Amino acid sequence: MLRQRLTARGRHDGGVIAGLVSPRPASRTRAWGIVGALSVTETVSWGILYYAFAVFLLPMQRELGYSAAQLTGAFSLALLVSAVAGLAVGRHLDRRSPRAVMTLGSVAGVLLVLAWSQVEGLAAFYALWVGIGLVMAAVLYEPAFTVLAKWFPEPAARRRAMTTMTLAGALASFIFLPLAQVLIDDYGWRDALVVLALMLALVTVPLHAVSLRAAPEVWRSRHVAMASASARQALRSASFWLLSGAFFLATAAAIAVTAQGIPFLLERGYSPSFVAFSIGVIGVSQIPGRLLFAPVAERLPAPWGTVALFVLIAAGIALIVGIDATLAVVAGLVLLGMGNGMATLARATVIADRYGAAAYGTIASVAASATIGARAAAPVAAAAYAAVVGYSALLVTLGVIAAFAAALAYAAERGAGEAAA
């Protein structure tokens, strides 16, 4: 019923598309300027605050004397903190301009990366990563998606905007992993962090401060309130929780394969160089996955548009574990990476399409907290499970989990479609 009401209101109000006032040309220009700014800041923020940690792990172990488990525990804690803090950030962005929270988040990120460069003890290391978790909640994809959901009322334009931003963000690991390694080799890990902090300061702080602002007031008029679901309505919907569960399970499966794929392939006799290349394929394959997301979403009938990405993940895992051949492994990792890349966009766009923009930040932050929690917990849980049953059994289990995620997504989409009928 909700989706039907939104569509009907959008049709019968001449200047309204999906219940929102159509943007003027000047507003469109500003909106796409925001997309450009966020494409840059997301790439830099993800590269420094998320991906670079892996490169710094070994040199920190050597100097500080702590184990990999002790140090990566701080990173996992940061992800959990960001999941919780994201709920408050989402509610804030539903009511106020994104400029202050994202600019202050970037400033805090600069200061915390500088503090990271001076850290000595494990307690201080965990404390600063709690702070970085708060920064992640303020500057990574979730707040950026909320900004774009509110600036782009038309679903097709919103998909293009979100796709553009995440295509740029997909380059973060390819830029910052080698860059961080070069900086560590040339200057040591502490000075390398100082350089990265300066980059974060020079790029993200001014772009957030200058480019970000709230969507025009007219877009948040009574039409928005009429056309959008409230957070209470969305969170009381069974289809919302089914879909969130699907994203949680699929994210956990994909992250676990990435984390445990190396020992699995080595155990099967593949060379270390091939294994390193193969795991890198997952990241590269996110780019074509995101490029194909909009055409797939627009052409496949509901509920298959959303289900397709979960099927890709399940099929990719099945190929990897089911056929012991080089080509099958590569093909499976490509499918896995494409599905994983699509999932980031799907979660953002499906929520906007289904529930509207007014409470998007609050609704999306709840769904995001589940997937962020999966990112934090999956590597540890997968390692513990593999220690008991072995790597092959682990991947079979992950394939089953991804298939179950597809079934949940199908049930969620069918339930939403029946409610709208």
What is the SS3 string spanning 328-380?
Answer: HHHHHHHHHHHHHHHHHHHHHHHHHHHHCCCCHHHHHHHHHHHHHHHHHHHHH
Instruction: Confirm whether 11 is domain-assigned.
Output: no
Residue ranges making up the domain that contains 171: 24-213
* Within-domain flag for 48: yes
Residues 150 and 39 in one domain: yes
User: Is residue 133 located within the same domain as residue 239?
Assistant: no
92 and 236 together in one domain: no
Same domain for 49 and 179, yes or no, is: yes
Residue 419 has a pLDDT of 52
Q: Identify the domain boundary among 213, 245, 277.
A: 213
What is the distance between the alpha carbons of residues 48 and 219, in angstroms, rounded to a whole number?
A: 34
Question: Using CA atoms, how far apart are residues 372 and 137, in angstroms rounded to an integer?
Answer: 10
Domain's final residue, options 151, 182, 213: 213
Q: Is residue 92 part of a domain?
A: yes
Sole residue written with tokens 């509110």: 150
Domains contained in the chain, number:
2
Q: Same domain, yes or no, for 263 and 308?
A: yes
- Last-in-domain residue among 191, 213, 235: 213
Q: Is 17 a domain residue?
A: no
Helix pair angle (25-46, 172-187), 10° resolution = 40
Report if residue 250 sits inside a domain.
yes
8 in any annotated domain: no
pLDDT of residue 14: 33
Same domain as 233, residue 207: no
Q: How far apart are CA 382 and CA 325, in angstroms?
A: 23
**Locus of tokens 């408050």:** 88
User: What pTM did the predictor assign?
Assistant: 0.86
Q: Is residue 1 part of a domain?
A: no
**Looking at the structure, do residues 366 and 288 belong to the same domain, yes or no?**
yes
pLDDT of residue 19: 43
CATH of the domain at 202: 1.20.1250.20
* Same-domain status, 410 and 350: yes
Same domain membership, residue 326 and residue 205: no
**Residue 17 φ then ψ, to 5°:** -120, 120
Give, for all 421 residues of the chain, the pLDDT tens digit.
Answer: 444 444 433 333 333 334 444 556 557 788 999 999 999 999 999 999 999 998 999 999 999 999 988 999 999 999 999 999 999 999 999 999 999 999 999 999 999 999 999 999 999 999 999 999 999 999 999 999 999 999 998 888 898 999 999 999 988 988 998 899 999 999 999 999 999 999 999 999 999 999 999 887 655 554 454 456 788 888 888 989 999 999 999 999 999 998 888 889 888 998 888 887 887 788 888 889 888 887 887 787 766 778 888 999 999 999 999 998 999 999 999 999 999 889 888 888 889 888 888 889 999 999 999 899 898 889 889 989 999 999 999 999 999 999 999 999 988 877 665 555 4
Q: 106 with 192, same domain?
A: yes
Paired residues of 21 in beta bridges: 16
What pLDDT does residue 17 have? Answer: 39
Question: So what's the pLDDT on residue 260?
Answer: 86
Q: Are residues 208 and 233 in the same domain?
A: no
Residue 19 included in any domain: no
* 39, 170 contact by CB (below 8 A): no
Do 198 and 238 share a domain, yes or no?
A: no
CA 303, 304, 310: angle at the middle one, nearest 5? 115
